[in-house]
A and B are shown apart, each in its own frame.
Chain A
Amino acid sequence: MKLIMAIIKPFKLDEVREALTTLGIAGMTVSEVKGFGRQKGQTEIYRGAEYATNMVPKVKIELVCDDALAPRVVEALQAAAGTGSIGDGKIFVLDVGQAVRIRTGETGEAAL
């Protein structure tokens, strides 16, 4: 099993979700996050006081799938989340040791 973690532009979330569900992904976890990378932040001005915000809002997606599906998920994610400009985000793939469905106690891929 692989954990696929992707940081994407917030407005791309719907497209990404659609692309992944057509692949058969049955669930994912989404969080609103902030961070910085190569994309520059913006400057906010309140009554003349300037604040440089170097943290940019992003959306983080986490999902676990079986090993065979992982390359296609990454590919679909990249296609759906990309705009070709700086700040499109990143995808990380990690190995997962175990998965448990709390309700039934199923383990491994059956729990996904």
Chain B
Amino acid sequence: MKLMSKIAGAGTAAGLSLFAALPAWAQEAVAEAAAAPAEAVPAVADGPIKAPTVEQMAGMVDKGDTTWMLISSALVLMMSIPALALFYGGLVRTKNMLSLLMQVFMIVSVAALVWVSWGYSLAFTSGGPFVGGLDKMFLQGVDATTFAATFSNNVYIPEYAFVVFQMTFACITPALIVGAFAERIKFTPLIIFTVLWLTFAYFPIAHMVWYWAGPDFLADAPTDAGLLWGWGALDFAGGTVVHINAGIAGLVGCLIVGPRLGFGKEATPPHSLTMTMIGASLLWVGWFGFNAGSNLESNGIAALAFLNTFVATAAAAVSWCLVEQFRHGKPSLLGAVTGAVAGLVAITPASGFAAPMTAILLGLIVSPICFFFVSYLKNKLKYDDTLDVFGVHGVGGIVGALGTAIVADPALGGQGFFDYTVFPAAVGEYNMAGQFMTQLWAVGTTVLWTGVVSAVLFYALKVTTGLRPAEEAEREGLDLSEHGERAYNY
């Protein structure tokens, strides 16, 4: 996904109705191109329409696409609340259930406000290779007559739909992190962390990975793109931006926050795997909006991403259970749903690039790797990544990002790399080894960036507000000590 602001309606002219508004380019660089006459509109455009007339614009925005984006946005919101909240909440002890629900709920709420205030602008306006500008702070310049680019020439979606779709991603990513230090974090510093982390880690990385000038303008502005996009890194739905980003922040967070009291000595079994199963299942459903929605258009590639999301997840659930069957002699529900989430994470960057059969392979492979990190390495290294944010999202995200280079190869049935310098955009030459190196660089950049930002933020909060509740409060449980409520009264 990616966007580009592009067509800003000049509908500000007094007295003009929406329909009468003449679209004009938001970007000045493009403004000159807009001067080109848009005469003689052929049924099928023979080139990118850079300054569409109202009539042309009507044919470039599809109600089906718009509908799909709005539905996808709602599905992705469901992934954080209630899905992620229940998935995480079920895995902690009863005394901390409510704290997880509350943390996820409020991170979503705060992130939504931050997104429309300065997040969208930092992520999706032209600025530089690392971060965008503040041109669209508080959504200035965005209205019902402005549009965002898709992946197809001359196809746009309402910019508001793009803003809200991307907003749901900004909402869920910081919420993913809380699993790493569940059961032992103070609420207020966590919310402060969320605002700062979004600003200094999420928005820049979203910009680096997803910002580009759009298919109709790439040729005119080949350097107007985020750093990783410019390198040619492939990330269909956010493997780096969402999962590696959150996974690394979680790992850094759990190391700086420190292990729970009694970690490794007291038993801390999940209090409700029923909740966890409900949450994981809703995550799966919501992920169709996340992955298939990231196509920004309701077409064959969206259907492909949908199918890939289904089968890779199923394969990963199966392979996690197989590993458990061999290792412990019993397949577990927690293993099945953990595998499913690992599969969802892994297919995310590859969802629109892989073929269904290679998506299955990716799903089959990711579970044993995550299992090794979650069940073996974590115990060996004794870090308390409570709900395995790093082990599942970080590791699964890296497997997916690197695997994308392989499954995207047209020789394996993948969609390849689109060359937007020609019209219409077509699949360009694909070099699997080269793409793999590009993916590796993208992963490394993300890990380094978010690792450093997260470490600085966590340390700063640790020495100022403090990150952990008092020992007694932690033993009592965060539900009562932080929120004065219990999850269950019976």
Which of A47, A48, A51 is in CB contact (< 8 Å) with B267? A51
Asked if B428 CB lies within 8 Å of chain A CBs, one says: no
**B374 contacts A47, CB within 8 Å?**
yes
**B269 contacts A51, CB within 8 Å?**
yes
Asked if B375 CB lies within 8 Å of chain A CBs, one says: yes
**A48 contacts B375, CB within 8 Å?**
yes
- Min CB–CB distance A105 → chain B (angstroms): 34
**A47 contacts B335, CB within 8 Å?**
yes
Residue of A at shortest CB range from B388? A47
- Min CB–CB distance B369 → chain A (angstroms): 14
Asked if A75 CB lies within 8 Å of chain B CBs, one says: no
**B269 contacts A48, CB within 8 Å?**
no
Residue of B at shortest CB range from A45? B328
**A45 contacts B267, CB within 8 Å?**
no
**B376 contacts A46, CB within 8 Å?**
no
- Min CB–CB distance B276 → chain A (angstroms): 10
Interface residues on A, range: under 10
Query: Interface 1/0s, chain A 41-69, versus B by CB < 8 A?
Result: 00011111101010000000000000000
**A46 contacts B270, CB within 8 Å?**
yes
**A48 contacts B374, CB within 8 Å?**
yes
Residue of B at shortest CB range from A43? B328
Could you tell me which residues of chain B, from 360 to 383, have a CB within 8 Å of some CB in chain A?
371, 374-376, 378-379
Asked if B334 CB lies within 8 Å of chain A CBs, one says: yes
List 8 A-B pairs, Cβ < 8 Å. Answer: A45-B328, A46-B334, A47-B388, A48-B371, A48-B374, A48-B375, A48-B379, A53-B267
- Min CB–CB distance A16 → chain B (angstroms): 26
Asked if B332 CB lies within 8 Å of chain A CBs, one says: yes
Query: Interface 1/0s, chain B 228-249, versus A by CB < 8 A?
Result: 0000000000000000000000
Rounded to whole angstroms, the CA-CA distance of A112 and B438 in the bound complex is 82
Rounded to whole angstroms, the CA-CA distance of A90 and B230 in the bound complex is 74
Rounded to whole angstroms, the CA-CA distance of A53 and B334 in the bound complex is 18
Rounded to whole angstroms, the CA-CA distance of A48 and B334 in the bound complex is 10
Rounded to whole angstroms, the CA-CA distance of A20 and B335 in the bound complex is 44
User: Which residues on B sit within 8 Å (CB–CB) of A45?
Assistant: 328, 330, 332
**A47 contacts B375, CB within 8 Å?**
yes
Q: B residues within 8 Å of A by Cβ? A: 267-270, 328, 330, 332, 334-335, 338, 371, 374-376, 378-379, 388
Rounded to whole angstroms, the CA-CA distance of A46 and B330 in the bound complex is 11
Residue of A at shortest CB range from B387? A47
Residue of A at shortest CB range from B273? A46
**B269 contacts A44, CB within 8 Å?**
yes
Rounded to whole angstroms, the CA-CA distance of A84 and B41 in the bound complex is 90
- Min CB–CB distance B45 → chain A (angstroms): 53
**A45-B328, A47-B335, A49-B268 given. 6 additional CB < 8 A pairs?**
A45-B330, A48-B374, A48-B378, A49-B375, A49-B379, A51-B267
**B338 contacts A48, CB within 8 Å?**
no
Rounded to whole angstroms, the CA-CA distance of A51 and B267 in the bound complex is 6
Residue of B at shortest CB range from A49? B379
**B332 contacts A48, CB within 8 Å?**
no
- Min CB–CB distance A48 → chain B (angstroms): 3
Rounded to whole angstroms, the CA-CA distance of A51 and B270 in the bound complex is 11
User: Which residues on A sit within 8 Å (CB–CB) of B371?
Assistant: 48
- Min CB–CB distance A47 → chain B (angstroms): 5
Rounded to whole angstroms, the CA-CA distance of A53 and B268 in the bound complex is 12
User: Which residues on B sit within 8 Å (CB–CB) of A53?
Assistant: 267
User: Which residues on B sit within 8 Å (CB–CB) of A51?
Assistant: 267, 269
The 8 closest A-B pairs by CB, nearest first: A48-B375, A51-B267, A47-B374, A45-B328, A51-B269, A46-B334, A46-B269, A47-B375
Q: By CB atoms of chain B within 10 A, which of A44, A49, A53 has the most?
A: A49
Rounded to whole angstroms, the CA-CA distance of A53 and B328 in the bound complex is 16
Q: By CB atoms of chain B within 10 A, which of A44, A46, A49, A53 has the most?
A: A46
Rounded to whole angstroms, the CA-CA distance of A44 and B273 in the bound complex is 13
User: Which residues on B sit within 8 Å (CB–CB) of A44?
Assistant: 269
User: Which residues on A sit within 8 Å (CB–CB) of B378?
Assistant: 48
Rounded to whole angstroms, the CA-CA distance of A44 and B333 in the bound complex is 12
Residue of A at shortest CB range from B391? A47
User: Which residues on A sit within 8 Å (CB–CB) of B338?
Assistant: 47
- Min CB–CB distance B389 → chain A (angstroms): 12
- Min CB–CB distance A65 → chain B (angstroms): 32
Query: Interface 1/0s, chain A 25-53, versus B by CB < 8 A?
Result: 00000000000000000001111110101
User: Which residues on B sit within 8 Å (CB–CB) of A47?
Assistant: 334-335, 338, 374-375, 388
Rounded to whole angstroms, the CA-CA distance of A47 and B374 in the bound complex is 7
User: Which residues on B sit within 8 Å (CB–CB) of A48?
Assistant: 371, 374-376, 378-379
Q: By CB atoms of chain B within 10 A, which of A46, A47, A49 has the most?
A: A47
Rounded to whole angstroms, the CA-CA distance of A54 and B371 in the bound complex is 27
Residue of B at shortest CB range from A53? B267
Rounded to whole angstroms, the CA-CA distance of A48 and B372 in the bound complex is 9
- Min CB–CB distance B263 → chain A (angstroms): 11
Rounded to whole angstroms, the CA-CA distance of A46 and B270 in the bound complex is 8
Rounded to whole angstroms, the CA-CA distance of A98 and B328 in the bound complex is 54
- Min CB–CB distance A36 → chain B (angstroms): 15
User: Which residues on A sit within 8 Å (CB–CB) of B335?
Assistant: 47
- Min CB–CB distance A101 → chain B (angstroms): 29
User: Which residues on A sit within 8 Å (CB–CB) of B334?
Assistant: 46-47
Rounded to whole angstroms, the CA-CA distance of A45 and B332 in the bound complex is 8
Residue of B at shortest CB range from A48? B375
